[in-house]
Amino acid sequence: MNNKKNNKKAELKITGMTCATCVRTIEKSVSNLDGVTDIKVNLGNETGTVEYDSTKLRIADIEKAVRDAGYEVVDEKATIKIGGMTCATCVKTIEKALKNLDGIISVNVNLGAEKAYITYNPRIISVTDIKKTIEEAGYQYLGKEGEEIEDLEKIAREKDLKEKTKRFIIGFVIGIPLMILMYLPIKLPSFMPYL
């Protein structure tokens, strides 16, 4: 018997349905999954409401069953900028943390681009939940690509560039006089080479 505490309800936006047979096909396909306790598909507003045991099934499994039946589930895609990653272990940590969230369909973290490409169901999870999970994993959430927020990544890079520019100027100011002295024919006392 299913534990009510583990039961979750999810709403899916389904496209491609044209008739009552489509509704029955989706309901049959999803209800055959172990862990589904109830499914109702509405042709009029193209949605499906599924009640399922979250210990046996993930929302991605339910969406796969709908797709396997020949219909599409409308999910959102987001590109999230992440700071603080240094290695492949960081990538795995973030991917694992995000994949454990209910409503996440797929996650691909790119270390070089410092971004996570996420497909998720917005009726179950929000970008705020994703942000919280990234920060709890110990990394910086630098915003959703396309958002008009203050770009922390840009600020960090500008600070680094200013520091490097300062070092270059100091090195230049010290280096030029030394180079000039090197080319001048200065006679050194005979004991100087032995010091």
The tens digit of pLDDT for each residue in 60-73 reads 888 889 889 988 88
17 contacts 26 by C-beta, under 8 angstroms: yes
Q: What is the pLDDT of residue 107?
A: 93
The pLDDT confidence band at residue 185, using thresholds 50, 70 and 90, is confident
Furthest C-alpha separation in the chain? 105
Please check the confidence at residue 150 and state whether its pLDDT lies above 80.
no
Would you tell me the crossing angle of helices 59-68 and 20-31 to the nearest 10 degrees? 130
Q: Is the pTM of this model over 0.85?
A: no
Q: How many CA atoms lie within 13 A of 8 on its CB side?
A: 18
139 contacts 82 by C-beta, under 8 angstroms: yes
Give tens-digit pLDDT for 69-110. 988 888 888 899 888 888 999 999 999 999 888 888 889 999
**Dihedrals phi, psi of 13, to nearest 5 degrees:** -90, 115
Give tens-digit pLDDT for 19-70. 989 999 999 999 998 889 999 998 888 888 999 887 888 888 888 898 899 8
Q: What is the pLDDT of residue 1?
A: 45
